[in-house]
Structure 1
Amino acid sequence: MDIVHAFSIDNIRFIIEGFYMTLKVALISIILSFIVGCVVGTLRYTKMPVVSPILGIGVELIRNLPLLLIIFFARFALPDIGIKLGPMNATIVALTLFEGAMIAEIVRSGLLSIDKGQIEAARSSGLGYVQTLWHIVMPQGLRRMLPPLVSQFISLLKDTSLAIVISLPELMHHAKIVIGQSYSYTMPILFLVAVLYFAVNYALSLAARRMEARIVQ
């Protein structure tokens, strides 16, 4: 184990560049998948004719496919129909679809968990369906969705490492290159990678706890 040379300035800089790519892809994917998940989950909750069943089929199909397969599909299959995506965009598309399907179920379950009596009371007081959904159901549902949503975001961040198979220059990809310089770098570099992943995911967990506490208040 060669800690001194493994943590050279060049190696550390290279690892940080990969970490930046990981955070960039994760952040974009989190935002997009959250939007997709909220829209799809809400539409499924409303049980719109035709739309809800079709979305349900799509969600179940994506949820039951391996994320790795979806990444390969976005990178190597879409060009066959004229859609060419680079490693970063292919990863973002794959993560958005996969995590969006997961979040859609979280959102739908959160909305369904609200007592129907509250909905009926709101409707009888004169609120329309959309107003009831926005002012009564959504605020309470969000409180219950927050823990599983954060867990899903943490999973998304970790899942970016799968993009190593399509040569996305993210954290694990750069770590693999550094380790390839010398076998003695394996332990210190992997330890550094673990620390970086843990730091971000733990920060997400802490932020979620504070947000949940504020919502409860």
Structure 2
Amino acid sequence: MDFAGAYSADNLKFLLDGLYITLIVAFVSIILSFVIGCVIGVIRYAEIPVLSPVMFYLVELIRNLPLLLIIFFVRFALPEVGIKMSLITAAIVALTIFEAAMIAEIVRGGLTSIDKGQIEAARSSGLSSFQTLWHIVLPQGLRRMVPPLVSQFISLLKDTSLAVVISLPELMHNANIVIGHSYSYAIPTLLLAALIYFTVNYMLSVVSRKLENKAV
């Protein structure tokens, strides 16, 4: 084990460059998947004719596919039909598709957990279906969704490492390159990568607990 060589200035900078790509991909994917997932979740909750069933089958299809397959499809299959994108864009698109389906189910579950009596009371007081959803159901549902949403975001951050299969220069990709220079770098490099993932994910967990406590 060569800690000194593995943690040289050049190697550390290279790993941090990979971390930067990881965080960029994760951040953009989180924002996009949250927005898209919320929209799909609300559509499924609202039971809109035709649209809701279509969303149901689409979500179930994506949720039951491995993320790795979706990454390969976006990176290698879509260019065959003229849809070409950069490595980072391909990773973001694949992660967004997969995570949006997961988040849609979290959103739908959170909304359906709201007591029906509150909805009936809101409707009887003169609120429309949309007003009831926006002012009564959604605020309470979102508070209940915080823990599972953050858990999903943590999973998304870890799943960025799967993009190593398309040579995205993220943390694990760069870690593999460092290890390739010398096998004596393997344990130090992997320990550092593990520490980085743990630190970032632990910070997300702390934020989740604080948000959950405020919601109570």
Scaled by the length of structure 2, what TM-score is found?
A: 0.99
Q: Give the C-alpha shift of residue 81 in structure 1.
A: 1.2
Q: Match for 1:76: what amino acid? A: F
| Cα deviations by residue, 1:23-71 (Å, 9 ceiling, x for unpaired) | 0000000000000100000001000000000011100000000000000
Q: What aligned pairs does 1:127-166 form with structure 2 within 5 A after superposition?
A: 127-166=127-166
| Cα deviations by residue, 1:113-166 (Å, 9 ceiling, x for unpaired) | 111111000100111111110111011111211110000000000000000000
Q: Distance in 2 between matches of 1:132 and 1:208?
A: 27
Q: Give the C-alpha shift of residue 85 in structure 1.
A: 1.4
Q: Distance in 1 between matches of 2:2 and 2:205?
A: 33
Q: Distance in 1 between matches of 2:208 and 2:155?
A: 14
Q: Distance in 2 between matches of 1:163 and 1:117?
A: 46
In the alignment, structure 1 segments of 5+ residues that lack a partner are: none
Q: Distance in 2 between matches of 1:139 and 1:34?
A: 15
What's the Cα RMSD here? 0.6
Which residue number in structure 1 is paired with residue 22 of structure 2? 22
Which residue number in structure 2 is paired with residue 66 of structure 1? 66
Q: Give the C-alpha shift of residue 168 in structure 1.
A: 0.1
Q: Which runs of 4+ in 1 moved over 3 A?
A: none
Aligned positions, number: 216
| Cα deviations by residue, 1:163-205 (Å, 9 ceiling, x for unpaired) | 0000000000000000001010000000000010011100001
Q: Match for 1:69: what amino acid? A: L
Q: What aligned pairs does 1:90-169 form with structure 2 within 5 A after superposition?
A: 90-169=90-169
Q: Distance in 2 between matches of 1:95 and 1:134?
A: 28
Q: What SS does the aligned partner of 1:105 have?
A: helix
How many percent identity over aligned positions?
69
Scaled by the length of structure 1, what TM-score is found?
A: 0.99
| Cα deviations by residue, 1:67-95 (Å, 9 ceiling, x for unpaired) | 00000000000011110012111110000
In the alignment, structure 2 segments of 5+ residues that lack a partner are: none
Which residue number in structure 2 is paired with residue 57 of structure 1? 57
